[in-house]
Amino acid sequence: CFVGGTPKEISASRDTAREAGVEGRCVFVPFVDEHTILKYLLAADALIYLPPREKFFLYETSPMKLFEYMAAQKPIILADYPSLREALDTDEAFFVDPRDRVAVGEAIRRAVSGEDAARRAAAAYERARTNTWDARAQKILEIAQAL
């Protein structure tokens, strides 16, 4: 199930699924509210974030959805971008080149087949638990007090 995206993005995803021969097994859902998205996150076998290979996504983004994925305790498949490696490492997610369809397919297979997926999901969840807004504020206060 692919959740979210503009009509253009959904159309592109549908085309990719068609080319891969899996369109009949895919469901494409437009943007939904935050309460509904939680239901999709918790029902998923794995969560995937493969943004375009653009400067913003490569180096500057820190997507909130990634932290929601971590909290959902599901295996995560991510584009292998420096910005995303700042949030997670290889013990916590499956990193792939989003342009390599074979690698993406293999990562999905590993994530849903259990090959160390549960361990990675648990490690990502643990990182999410320790990186709350309160924890960040506390670290900032400690730094400020040390000055």
Helices 117-130 and 64-71 cross at an angle (nearest 10°) of: 120
* pTM assigned to the model: 0.79
Q: pLDDT truncated to tens, each residue of the chain (147 aa)?
A: 888 888 998 998 888 888 877 788 888 999 999 889 999 999 999 999 888 777 877 777 777 888 899 999 999 999 999 889 888 889 999 999 998 888 888 898 889 887 689 999 999 999 988 877 788 788 889 999 998
Q: How far apart are CA 114 and CA 122, in angstroms?
A: 12
Q: Using an 8 Å Cβ cutoff, are 96 and 77 in contact?
A: yes
Q: Where are the domains of the chain?
A: 32-146
Tell me, what DSSP letter sits at residue 25? Answer: G
Q: Write the CB contacts of 63 (distance below 8 Å, at least 6 apart in sequence).
A: 49, 51
CATH of 32-146, one of 2.130.10.10, 3.40.50.140, 1.10.10.10, 3.40.50.2000: 3.40.50.2000
